[in-house]
Amino acid sequence: MKNNKYIYIVLCSLGFIACEPEFDQPLEDNPITQERGTADFSTYVALGNSLTAGFADGALYSSGQEVGFVNLIATKMKAAGGGDFTIPFMNDNVGGFAGFENAFGTRLVIQTDENGNQGPARLNNNVATNDIAARAEGSNFNNLGVPGITSFQFNFEGLGNPAGLTTNPVSANPYFTRFASSPTTSILADALAKQPTFFTLWLGNNDVLGYATSGGTGVDQTGNPNPATYGGNDITDPGVFNALLNGFSTALTANGASGLLVNIPNVTDIPFFTTVPNNALVLDAEQAAGLTGYFQGYVGIVTQGVIAQLTGGTRAPVAAETQAAQQIASQYAFTFNPGPNRFLIDVPVTQNNPQGIRQMTNEELLLLTINQGALRSEGYGSVAVTPEVLEIGAILQAAQIGAGAPPTQEQALAYLNAVNAIDDQDALDTEELTAISTAVTSYNQTLETIADSNPNIALYDANADLATLSSGGITSRRVTITSTLVTGGGFSLDGVHLSPRGNAVIANRMIEAINSNFNSTLQPVEPSLFTFIPVP
């Protein structure tokens, strides 16, 4: 995880820290006898990435691991004949690794700054205490969730080799090196060595999440069957995912084990992508008129520039050339109104869009990590207005009515460069959203086919539930959570991972899927007993 700047648009006051139970007396766990049905919970192994590991608030820390959904499920399984469920706990509740805070920061908590403003900040000023080379206490763990892994890393031999942490590029995962059984093992091999009788497997989120959280700066590798050529922010080829997940499922059920597959939510349903609205450019009447006027001058400069390109700057343009130039430049005649307006974003420069900018569309998204201070006060997403720009604008207006000479080439360039459109890494545009959606749909079809063809494997539809979270909320035992950051209760402060209460609700949804498919009677977790706001 990155050390991110968080300046929330929608943070409310700290009155929400105490909003734990939604009713006076929380329900107690149901004492009904729990039966295993056709499943065998004696050796439960949890497999997956950061969600399975218990990652939350931008870090992996011990109390977050304790309330991870797999540990909550394991507690219920134990009442139905399940065995112990061991976790490779981090050493503290700070999170991160000492000396590697830029890559593995400490956890986020709500804090108050020197000006009295409340918001998320890294605990202990980014001073982590965990030694990246130290192993977790214990061995043969049941929770084998490893933050950051993709499907093609799940069976990578050497992912847990500490020596790989110092190679360039890094070939090991520090969360797996903490508990891998040997430097040459893989996550799958360690899982099979446990001889699980039941497993959960939630894998594939990171095969598309890195692409999404980087603003689509990676590559969609669909059609490329060689993961060795992939970058860290790329989308995994659906064919590769299909082959891998079929192989993993076959291996995990070979000795008669049962399991629960979890499909991949559409990442754009999580608050990391939905918290900052793309129409948060709020203007008064004077500001709206000023920006509209700015782009009228912008159109004039671009028109002359296109004409110069068409004529080589050596002859007068013919009427068709002038018309073509005006048509190309007219796309920059953005109009702004008092109230909310959509931001401008950078797009690839093409012959038809020589300036490489346009206004965002309704469905396009801004990332939570965008510098919201720059959006509000520095013209990020619109125009960085300076006295020089205003002066050049006056020259343009005078020239249009024949009251002065046009701006010089240098002035015209400075005027155009005042546009401060949102960079690619801070937004997801239409093409990037389509690539993400296509991959997720294909991944989920693979998982559904596997579950349909194997009576020992059930499927939990996390994709549908995350969509429900973003559209209205999920109610479990009279507690309702939504995907609204902070106040919705479902997500931790990083906008990607679940809060303790979110874990409790999702655990209940998974328990329902297990009970339905294996005729078990595992009882639900009580979500009201779990908070969702971390405090220092």
- The Cα–Cα gap between 498 and 505 comes to 10
One-letter amino acid of 208: V
Dihedral of CA 443/449/455/461: which sign?
A: positive
- pLDDT for the residue numbered 168: 87
- Using an 8 Å Cβ cutoff, are 27 and 526 in contact? yes
- The Cα–Cα gap between 393 and 412 comes to 9
* The token pair that represents 387 in the structure block: 């006295």
- The Cα–Cα gap between 318 and 305 comes to 15
- pLDDT for the residue numbered 128: 86
- Give start and end residues of each alpha helix (H) in 232-283: 238-253, 271-274
- pLDDT for the residue numbered 464: 96
- pLDDT for the residue numbered 367: 97
- Residue 310: CB atoms within 10 A of its CB come to 17
From residue 14, give the alpha-carbon distance in Å to each of 20, 106, 124, 352.
13, 21, 20, 49
- The Cα–Cα gap between 418 and 344 comes to 12
- pLDDT for the residue numbered 5: 40
- The Cα–Cα gap between 335 and 354 comes to 19
Q: CA 255, 256, 259 angle in degrees (round to 5)?
A: 115
- pLDDT for the residue numbered 112: 81
- pLDDT for the residue numbered 22: 37
3-class secondary structure, 15: helix
- pLDDT for the residue numbered 534: 61
- pLDDT for the residue numbered 31: 59
Dihedral pair phi/psi, residue 59, rounded to 5°? -160, 165
- Using an 8 Å Cβ cutoff, are 44 and 75 in contact? no
3-class secondary structure, 480: strand
Residue spans per domain, the chain = 14-275+431-529, 281-427
- Using an 8 Å Cβ cutoff, are 238 and 442 in contact? yes
Span 14-275+431-529 CATH architecture: 3-Layer(aba) Sandwich (3.40)
Residue numbers of the chain with a pLDDT score lower than 50: 1-28
One-letter amino acid of 493: L
**DSSP secondary-structure letter at 482?**
B
DSSP string, 198-243: EEEEE--THHHHHHHHTTS-S-B-TT---GGG--TTPBPPHHHHHH
